Amino acid sequence: MVSSKGSTGASATSSYAFWRSSGRSGRCQTSDTQIKCLKAQNAELKDRVTDRDATIEETIDTSTSC
């Protein structure tokens, strides 16, 4: 698994581990925990989108430079 740092400063893998282990089947139990859980999920998704966009940009740059 690739670990990256997002705008939150937390690594994507630790964010994922937090919300994944916070409840039964990845679901949070209390509203405060649910908010933290959703924020961690959101941060993970933002990191993944940023990584994806960087990969796409790199691929475009590589393919157009040949």
Q: Are 42 and 10 in contact (CB under 8 A)?
A: no
For residue 50, count CB atoms less than 10 angstroms from its CB and return exposed for 0-12, middle for 13-18, buried for 19 or more.
middle
Q: Please, are residues 53 and 6 in contact by the beta-carbon 8 Å criterion? A: no
Query: Model's pTM, two decimal places?
Result: 0.49
Q: What pLDDT tens digit does each residue of the chain (66 aa) get?
A: 344 455 545 555 555 555 455 555 555 568 999 999 999 999 999 999 999 999 999 999 888 876
CA distance 9 to 3: 12
